């Protein structure tokens, strides 16, 4: 997938709903086993992130309507809201075709936020 070929609806979804690559990877992990209720420790091992971060990521995705709480406390399963199922599938396809492009897109979001934060501390001549 050449740069700029991530479908616009997928770009919008990624920029508005997926704050980091670990969020995307967690979404795809749970999507790959929709009948399994993932505990945060198990997801953390598979995602190579600390357990606390995995728990936060899973909860963020649950709040976004992509995951649901499992029957056992502290577990999550893939259960996107009906209006999100198609776009999640298209995001997974885009990531499979263009891992670097999708990752760069997600990173560009955090890079812009960091730049806005840094700009707030710049000393300006007109101040």
Task: Label residue 4 by pLDDT band (50, 70, 90).
Answer: low
pLDDT at 76 over 70: yes
Domain ranges of the chain: 8-119
- What's the CA gap between 8 and 30, in Å, rounded? 24
Prediction pTM value: 0.81
Q: Which fold has domain 8-119?
A: Arc Repressor Mutant, subunit A (1.10.10)
Task: Identify the pLDDT of residue 124.
Answer: 52
% of the chain at pLDDT higher than 90: 80
For 15-32, the pLDDT digits (tens) are: 999 999 999 999 999 999
- Convert 5-37 to b/e letters by CB count within 10 Å (16 or more is b): ebeeebbebbeebbbbbbbbbbbbbbbeeeeeb
Mean pLDDT of the chain: 87
**Cα Rg, the chain, nearest whole Å:** 17
């Amino acid at each position: 997938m050449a740069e700029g070929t991530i479908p616009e609806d997928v770009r919008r979804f990624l920029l508005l709903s997926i704050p980091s690559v670990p969020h995307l990877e967690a979404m795809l992990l749970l999507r790959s086993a929709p009948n399994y209720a993932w505990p945060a420790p198990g997801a953390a091992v598979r995602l190579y992130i600390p357990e606390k971060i995995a728990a936060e990521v899973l909860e963020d995705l649950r709040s976004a309507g992509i995951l649901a709480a499992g029957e056992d406390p502290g577990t999550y399963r893939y259960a996107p809201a009906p209006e999100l199922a198609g776009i999640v599938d298209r995001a997974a396809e885009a990531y499979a075709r263009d891992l670097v492009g999708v990752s760069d897109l997600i990173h560009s979001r955090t890079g812009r936020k960091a730049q806005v934060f840094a700009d707030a501390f710049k000393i300006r001549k007109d101040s």
